[in-house]
A = this chain, B = another copy of it.
């Protein structure tokens, strides 16, 4: 075990995977000599060389398209999109190509690409350095979507993503890059995709969340305890395909669920979780599944703190669920 920040854990996983498997290559903007604008690839260019740590021209559709071609032809590319807000120029390559290769070729061609991208708010980045686009990718059949909340999970999930036979959108909560510190197993270490983590055990209400919001959930849980409410906090880790058993098992016990995410509310992942819970645990529900989310607006600059759900807003929803 070593203490690492989340971004150090990402860097550690990338280095180990490149060590382990010569097919692993990295590509993206400013990831080489500069080590990435968040330093996630720091030192890898010097260590593995410019042929495996590839600085690309400024074209996300080129980055993802090239990564797909590399994967079709036997490499294991890990593409970095500098901010998830800039993934849209690659949206056609992701939705029309990356997600569909296995299906449209009936398994003849597969594109095991990992797309890493810093996601979410918290750095005063305004519209274009703060978005949480997970719902677009969860709605796209053929993709896996992952988002860690701790350094250890960041390392273990990224290693699993690189080894996974399917394309993975790996969303990195940039707000936690340096603020989240924790013990991380040294050397080879994986965390399986598709398995949630009980971040906090409780019996009164189930809070389903992921990424940077896990901390907010734990904060709110601590406040709720003072009011005699004992919430369970589930950190999904893999957003899709999600760990449905973990969520339903919990809600069957607690009878109440609050979904928490930073992304806009409408047609966000919270809607899917809400729909699934009431489909699968309807008779256990003592209150409607609540959603605490970002606003249905572009991500604001000056009012960022108001936009991002905080413990206070979550606590309000927890109370409402319990008092329903």
Partner of A103, one of B85, B139, B298: B298
Hey, which chain B residues are within 8 Å of A85, CB to CB? Answer: 96
Partner of A100, one of B104, B127, B139: B127
Across the two chains, which residue of chain B brings its CB closest to A88? B92
23 contacts between A and B (CB under 8 A): A88-B92, A88-B95, A88-B96, A89-B91, A91-B92, A96-B127, A99-B298, A103-B297, A104-B127, A135-B135, A135-B139, A136-B136, A139-B139, A139-B266, A141-B295, A141-B296, A141-B298, A142-B297, A271-B275, A275-B289, A275-B291, A278-B288, A278-B289
- Asked whether A264 is an interface residue with its Cβ less than 8 Å from the other chain, the reply is yes
Q: Which of A96, A128, A142: most chain B CB closer than 10 A? A: A96
A129 CB to closest chain B CB, in angstroms? 12
* A267-B139, A268-B139, A271-B271 given; A104·B298 CB < 8 A: yes
Q: Taking chain A's interface residues, is the majority helix, strand, or loop, or is none over half, making it mixed?
A: helix
- Asked whether A147 is an interface residue with its Cβ less than 8 Å from the other chain, the reply is no
A91 CB to closest chain B CB, in angstroms? 4
Q: How many interface residues does chain A have, given as a range?
A: 35 or more
Residues of A bordering B, CB below 8 Å: 61, 85, 88-89, 91-92, 95-96, 99-100, 103-104, 127-128, 135-136, 138-139, 141-142, 240, 264, 266-272, 274-275, 278-279, 282, 285, 287-291, 295-298
Is B282 within 8 A of A272, CB to CB? no
Hey, which chain B residues are within 8 Å of A92, CB to CB? Answer: 88-89, 91
Bound-state CA distance A116–B197 (Å) is 44
Is A139 within 8 A of B104, CB to CB? no
Hey, which chain B residues are within 8 Å of A291, CB to CB? Answer: 275, 279
A106 CB to closest chain B CB, in angstroms? 11
Is A135 within 8 A of B267, CB to CB? yes
A308 CB to closest chain B CB, in angstroms? 15
Hey, which chain B residues are within 8 Å of A274, CB to CB? Answer: 271, 274-275, 278-279
A136 CB to closest chain B CB, in angstroms? 6
Q: Which of A61, A127, A141, A297: most chain B CB closer than 10 A? A: A141
Is A270 within 8 A of B275, CB to CB? yes
Across the two chains, which residue of chain B brings its CB closest to A294? B141
Hey, which chain B residues are within 8 Å of A88, CB to CB? Answer: 91-92, 95-96
Hey, which chain B residues are within 8 Å of A89, CB to CB? Answer: 61, 91-92
Is A267 within 8 A of B278, CB to CB? no
Bound-state CA distance A285–B269 (Å) is 23
Across the two chains, which residue of chain B brings its CB closest to A279? B288
Bound-state CA distance A268–B269 (Å) is 10
Bound-state CA distance A267–B61 (Å) is 24
Hey, which chain B residues are within 8 Å of A104, CB to CB? Answer: 127, 298
Is B266 within 8 A of A138, CB to CB? yes
Bound-state CA distance A99–B142 (Å) is 27
* A85-B96, A103-B298, A128-B96 given; A139·B264 CB < 8 A: yes
Bound-state CA distance A235–B89 (Å) is 34
Hey, which chain B residues are within 8 Å of A296, CB to CB? Answer: 141
